[in-house]
Amino acid sequence: MVISIKDVAKRAGVSAGTVSNVFSGNRAVKSDLVERVRRAATDLGYQPDRAASQLRAGKARIVAALVPDLNNPFFTSLIASIEARVRGEGYDIIVASSHGDAEEETRRLAALLGWRPAGVVIIPCNDDFSSRELLMGSGIPFVVADRVPSYFEGDAVTVDNVDAGRQAAEHLVALGHARFVVAASSMKLQNIRERCEGIAAVLAKQGLPSPTLIEVGLDFDTASERLGTFMEGEQQATAFIALTNFATLGILASAHKTGLSVPDDISVMGFDDYSWMHAVKPPLTAIRQPVEEIGRTIWNRLRGHLDDEGEPPARERLLCELVVRASTGAPKTAGVSSA
Amino acid sequence: MVISIKDVAKRAGVSAGTVSNVFSGNRAVKSDLVERVRRAATDLGYQPDRAASQLRAGKARIVAALVPDLNNPFFTSLIASIEARVRGEGYDIIVASSHGDAEEETRRLAALLGWRPAGVVIIPCNDDFSSRELLMGSGIPFVVADRVPSYFEGDAVTVDNVDAGRQAAEHLVALGHARFVVAASSMKLQNIRERCEGIAAVLAKQGLPSPTLIEVGLDFDTASERLGTFMEGEQQATAFIALTNFATLGILASAHKTGLSVPDDISVMGFDDYSWMHAVKPPLTAIRQPVEEIGRTIWNRLRGHLDDEGEPPARERLLCELVVRASTGAPKTAGVSSA
DNA sequence: CGTTTTTCGTAAATCGTTTTACAGAACTGG
DNA sequence: CCAGTTCTGTAAAACGATTTACGAAAAACG
């Protein structure tokens, strides 16, 4: 049923090796033979078997991506961005989700490594990054993205999280806010801690009280629940900063539930930038991660290791962009004099 | 560097075939040998090479997914749902995007078929489904999802789009709306036409004028632009129905831009159900597609063909669910007497 | 023109598994 | 205890591509 290289060779009246050379371009083949082979291949609908190809050649045109959650649009947009890069070069992407579980992460990674991919892109589910050893032991080039533990020394690309936090805080401070709430997913994550750090630095410098920190977890439901109970008690804060996209939703949902109006009662700063953010009312001010660029950078890093050019590992930090829309404004009740 | 089955065999003092049998469970192996092999394998960190395995065995534990856009959360949530199903059975998922282009769809499909996957899940980028021939010729089981051309007779799973349209229209008619606008991505898509059909049927039955149809394209920017220019002219319509998630955003964005308030001036019915829809104000009434169930059904369909049980092809149609929130209400200016 | 070099095709080896063919050991039942 | 059957191990073939070794033809050179 399925056509092999030998069928093509027979029909074109050449050897299998020649057919291989025509397709791989590995060695020159006279033009009339190329013609014959090409024709035979399209006639038969030949498509090289990639498993066989990779087994013999030892190199796979496949990159594995392992993320904590395929329902999180940030992760999938990253995958989309990587896919857009690699497709032109004949690579395919194999994806897996660790579902936020460290052991599953290791299991899935082991399975992915069975494909002997050319490279691996991984977003660990926590800072332990317990699958690290397995990954390093495999000798396969890999890039850690988004959640990079501080001790990690290999290739990694993230945004400049401290700066992201700083930009968010500075914008709100400039508007006159003094009482901050930070909605973080989990303080166990290095990127989240860095974003907090950036915010704290700005507030400290201005002599403002340090922000109230709320850990909202990694999905929408727990986020909006925890923020909801918080908001019902608290009256002072006027500036809310989300540190992940789910935190953004949580803040919004509980603000509405509590009857607080945005931006009149409170200002909210979202994280990541999605279409819905400028479709809703008020359109959301947010810190935008340069997803396209992150994907491009990951691929560049990976490719540097593919053609066994021994490129040294590097830590790339890309800048976020503050996009100001209407969910942030000057605090109305600035006169509670909280200092 | 990388450990092969022979290394394990040597260390365990057995033959390669025995190691294979231990891992595949294909033939019984005495327990003491199993023990020795297992130990040797973990000592060496052995992971079977899946390319070699699949080459010899002829069957791949891999399923290929080809979608029009990896940035569309509906498509990625479908992939997430499928991933959740197959991971337990040792399958991996390889993804690709056709970027909405029919020729690219065929090209990407050809590349994916090179992996000789156990099955293919495809969401065609249009009703021509020009990659169909290639797919059928390959002899690999496949399931078409979401966008299924009317003439297609193979395995397919979608929602009941006519019913979805009906549910949306009935809800709004019950609230008292008479003038409808439907924001459709493209009338070239069968699923969109069916949703329209469902809406039209309800309106016709009630003796209401047929809805104004606006094709908004497949991304957010063109959607909000076309709807914006429309809304500035039109005053009569009070009920807006979106037929895709981007259309939902387009309606919302242009309503805000035009200064129309939801649900006081107009009611809006969204499509698909995402977290942001209940985080925003007003929370959106929407037609929810059962993504989890769609994924499960796709996998069931596919699996029916894997173990060469010659299951006959089937067309599955799952029901959508109307989730009523606050973006729909009775029309204020019901007295324009439009009949 | 003779010699050396280059070009380009073929046959066969090879990658790491699974599977087949075979054989000795261990059961079975009478 | 013996013939027949079942277990369970090994050696070698096989999957479909790439790559190597080799040789014939062509090209280059003095």
Give the pLDDT confidence of B139-173 residue by residue, as tens digits.
Answer: 999 999 999 999 999 999 999 999 999 999 999 99
In a shared domain, residues A210 and A277: yes
pLDDT on residue B309: 67
Give the domain extent around B244. Answer: 161-289+323-336
Cβ burial A169-208 (10 Å sphere, 16+ → b, else e): bbbbbebebbbbbbbbbeeebbbbbbbbebbbebbeeeeb
Amino acid making up residue B177? H
**Beta strand B92-97 with B62-67: parallel, antiparallel or unpaired?**
parallel
In a shared domain, residues A331 and A190: yes
The residue whose CA lies nearest the C1' of nucleotide D12 is: B17
Q: Which residues pair with A122 in a beta bridge?
A: A66, A144
Torsion sign over Cα A196, A201, A202, A204: positive
pLDDT on residue A101: 97
In a shared domain, residues B102 and B187: no
Domains in chain A, number: 3
Q: In what order do the strands lie in the sheet with B315-318?
A: A315-318, A156-159, A142-145, A119-122, A62-67, A92-97, B92-97, B62-67, B119-122, B142-145, B156-159, B315-318
**Token pair listed for A129:** 């990054």
DSSP string for B204-251: HHTTPPPPEEEE--SSHHHHHHHHHHHHHH--S--EEEESSHHHHHHH
Cβ burial B298-323 (10 Å sphere, 16+ → b, else e): bbebbbbbbeeeeeeeeebebebebe
| Alpha carbon distance A53, B138 (integer Å) | 19
Chain B hits for A283, CB-CB cut-off 8 Å, are: 256
Q: State the smallest CA–CA distance between residue B207 and chain A in angstroms.
A: 33
For the segment 50-79 of chain B, residues whose CB is within 7 A of strand C: 52-53, 55-58
In a shared domain, residues A257 and A223: yes
In a shared domain, residues A124 and A197: no
Q: Which residues pair with B122 in a beta bridge?
A: B66, B144
Residue B76, SS3 per DSSP: helix
Please check whether strand C approaches the CB of B17 to within 7 Å.
Answer: yes
Instruction: Tell whether the model's pLDDT for residue A108 goes beyond 60.
Output: yes
In a shared domain, residues A205 and A240: yes
pLDDT per residue over B220-229, tens digit each?
Answer: 888 888 898 8
In a shared domain, residues A14 and A87: no
| Alpha carbon distance B144, B314 (integer Å) | 11
In a shared domain, residues A107 and A213: no
Report yes or no on B53 lying in a domain. Answer: no
| Alpha carbon distance B114, B168 (integer Å) | 43
pLDDT on residue B236: 85
Q: In what order do the strands lie in the sheet with A267-271?
A: A212-215, A180-184, A239-242, A267-271, A285-288, A321-323
Q: Residue A308's pLDDT band (boundaries 50, 70, 90)?
A: low
Q: Which of A30, A48, A66 is the last residue of a domain?
A: A48
Report yes or no on B106 lying in a domain. Answer: yes
Report yes or no on B310 lying in a domain. Answer: yes
Residue A254 sits in a domain of what CATH number? 3.40.50.2300
In a shared domain, residues B120 and B180: no
In a shared domain, residues B216 and B269: yes
In a shared domain, residues B112 and B34: no
CA of A284: which chain B residue's CA is closest?
A: B280
Residue B12 sits in a domain of what CATH number? 1.10.260.40
For the segment 48-107 of chain B, residues whose CB is within 7 A of strand D: 52, 55-56, 58
Report yes or no on B283 lying in a domain. Answer: yes
Report yes or no on B56 lying in a domain. Answer: no
Report yes or no on B54 lying in a domain. Answer: no
pLDDT per residue over B290-334, tens digit each?
Answer: 999 999 999 999 999 887 667 899 999 999 999 999 999 999 864
Q: What is the mean pLDDT of residues A64-76?
A: 97
pLDDT on residue B338: 38
Q: Which residues pair with B159 in a beta bridge?
A: B318
Tell if the CB–CB gap between A280 and B281 is shorter than 8 Å: yes
In a shared domain, residues B189 and B282: yes
Q: How far is the CA of B87 from the C1' of C4 (A)?
A: 61
Nearest to B47 among A87, A93, A113 (CB): A113
Tell if the CB–CB gap between B112 and A96 is shorter than 8 Å: no
| Alpha carbon distance B244, B270 (integer Å) | 8
pLDDT on residue B265: 94
H or E stretch covering B63: strand B62-67
